[in-house]
Structure 1
Amino acid sequence: MIRAGVIGAGAMGKNHIRIYSEMPDVELVGISDIDQDLVQGLAKQYGTEAFTDYRQLLAKGLDAVSIVVPTRMHRQVAIDAIEAGANVLVEKPIADSVENAEAIIDAAKEQKRFVMVGHIERFNPAVIRLKEIIDSGLLGKIVSISTTRVGPYNPRIRDVGVILDIGVHDIDVISYLYNRRANQVYAVAGADIHSQEDHATIHMRFDNEFSGLVEVNWLTPHKVRKLTAVGVKGVAYLDYVDQTVELHDSGWVRKAKIEQKEPLKNELEHFVRCIRDCKQPYPAGEDGMHALHVGLAAIRSYKDRQLIQI
């Protein structure tokens, strides 16, 4: 039985709490949030213990902790959890700076604990299926991957701009599908309704000949989450929301067979299974740090109006 806890009971944290409570091989030991009424209500609903000080929860001796707090708090909370003996799943982005991400990763290595980063789209059944299709060679060599992730602004997001909030999803997915790290970034962005950038177009280069293009904004009145992968033998169109993949080649248009499932459930099941089997869960801390590094490079690029080498 894996002893789990959740730190942060906001919109995403509530989903972590719900899914852990449904897992037959997990004991949800407790949850923590600074909002006493909120955390007590959720603890009662899910039959667990409430804490307003997360350190009291960590003292219960946990195997797994989901850290779902504002990005600026990730370093301190993650390191406290690791030093208390827990393996941690840190929601994306892993931290607010590369230095803080490195500190989390170093702490985990020192304490021999696992760090996983919550890049949830890797566990979207459509992304899993597309990865299998690409790796099979069905589309031939992939030369370009582009994404669109746009929609209305969520006022709860205050500590980061659109690049680090939602752009890192597609930065990570494109790197994952290529199985490569980006080595150049150029971005154009601006701020119209938010204190930081609320729209951005990010162009990434991988190994000099592979292209990644990410379009994000908080301005579009309707939600769109899509990806296009162009290969020399065909093109794949993916819809993150509908969890579909459609393939086009010179002779056919066809849809991939996909069993739909909640991505977060896939993600937490992977996290728990890896802890139980003593295997590094993925995306690991280094994967999260790469997505963060690229996101920060994109911010620097649009501010300085220059191409950034990574």
Structure 2
Amino acid sequence: MIRVGVIGTGAMGQNHVRIYSEMEGVKLAGISDVDQNRVEAMAAQFKTKAFTDYKKMFAEGLDAVSVVVPTKLHKQVVLDALEAGLHVLVEKPIADTIENAELMIEAAKKSKKVLMVGHIERFNPAVIRLKEIINSGILGKIVSISTRRVGPYNPRIRDVGVILDIGVHDIDIISYLYGKKIRGVYAIAGADIHSFEDHASIILRMDHNFAGVVETNWLTPHKVRQLTAIGVKGVAYLDYLDQTVELHDNGWIRKAKVEPSEPLKNELAYFIDCVQTGREPNPCGEDGKHALEVAMAAIRSYEEERLIEVGK
């Protein structure tokens, strides 16, 4: 039985709590939040213990925790959890700075504990299926992947702009589908209604002229979550929300078979498996750091109005 805790019981944290409480072979041993009324009500609902100090929760004999607190708090909470000997799943983005991400990665190596980053779209069944299709060669060499992730502003997001909040999803997925690091970024963005940027168009460059394009905003009144992968033999259209993949080539339009499932359930089950087996998670801390580096480079690019090389 793996004993887990959840630190942070906001909108996303509540989903972690719900799923862990339903998982076989997992005991939700405690949940923590600075909002005492909320955490106590949730603990009563899911029959677990409530804490306002997450360090006191560590004394419950935990094996692992989900860290679902604001991004600026990730570093300290993750370091405390690793120092306590716990495996950690931290929500994306991994940290608020590259330096803090590196501290977390080094601490995980030193403690020999799992550090997984919650890039949830990797566990979307449609993305898993598209990765298989790309790897099979059906589409031929992939030369461009473009995404649209747009929708209304979520008022709970107060500490970052649209690039770090939702654009980072597609930055990670484009890198993942190509199996390549992103080397250069050019972005056009602006903050027209909110204090941070609320719309962005981002061009990504991999080695050998492979391209990625991310369109994202908090201005569209309805949610769109779509991806297009263009290969020399065909095109794939993916819908993250409907969990569908459609292939077009010169002769056919075909729908790929995708078994719908909740991405977060898949992600947490995978995390628990990594805890049990000790295997390196995918996405690991380095993957989370790369997505953060690219997102930070995109922010620098629109601020400085120039191409930014990632990692330089």
Q: Equivalents in 2 of 1:186, 1:168: separation in Å? A: 14
Q: Which amino acid aligns with 1:9?
A: T
Give yes or no for the alignment of 1:113 onto 2:113.
yes
Match of 2:54 in 1: 54
Tell me, yes or no, if the aligned pair for 1:61 and 1:84 is still in contact at 8 Å: no
Moved beyond 2 Å, runs of 4+: none
Q: Equivalents in 1 of 2:222, 2:45: separation in Å? A: 33
Deviations 1:75-120 (A, max 9, x none): 0000000000111000000000000000100111111111000000
Match of 2:230 in 1: 230
DSSP 3-state at the match of 2:221? coil
Q: Equivalents in 2 of 1:118, 1:219: separation in Å? A: 25
Tell me, yes or no, if the aligned pair for 1:61 and 1:85 is still in contact at 8 Å: no
Match of 1:181 in 2: 181
Q: So what's the TM-score if we normalise by structure 2?
A: 0.99
Offset of 1:61 from its aligned partner? 2.6
Offset of 1:176 from its aligned partner? 0.3
Give the aligned CA root-mean-square deviation in angstroms: 0.6
Tell me, yes or no, if the aligned pair for 1:117 and 1:285 is still in contact at 8 Å: yes
Give yes or no for the alignment of 1:10 onto 2:15.
no
Trace 1:53-132 onto structure 2 (pairs within 5 A): 53-132=53-132
How many residues are matched? 310
Segments of structure 2 that go 5 or more residues without pairing to the other structure are: none
Tell me, yes or no, if the aligned pair for 2:30 and 2:50 is still in contact at 8 Å: yes
Q: So what's the TM-score if we normalise by structure 1?
A: 0.99
Q: Equivalents in 2 of 1:125, 1:233: separation in Å? A: 23
Q: Equivalents in 2 of 1:282, 1:52: separation in Å? A: 31
Give yes or no for the alignment of 1:144 onto 2:113.
no
Give yes or no for the alignment of 1:37 onto 2:37.
yes
Match of 2:297 in 1: 297
Tell me, yes or no, if the aligned pair for 1:168 and 1:292 is still in contact at 8 Å: yes
DSSP 3-state at the match of 1:130? helix
Q: Equivalents in 2 of 1:35, 1:287: separation in Å? A: 31
Offset of 1:209 from its aligned partner? 1.2
DSSP 3-state at the match of 2:181? coil
Offset of 1:277 from its aligned partner? 1.1
Give yes or no for the alignment of 1:308 onto 2:308.
yes
Q: Equivalents in 1 of 2:24, 2:134: separation in Å? A: 34
DSSP 3-state at the match of 2:156? coil
Q: Which amino acid aligns with 1:60?
A: E
Q: Equivalents in 1 of 2:94, 2:58: separation in Å? A: 20
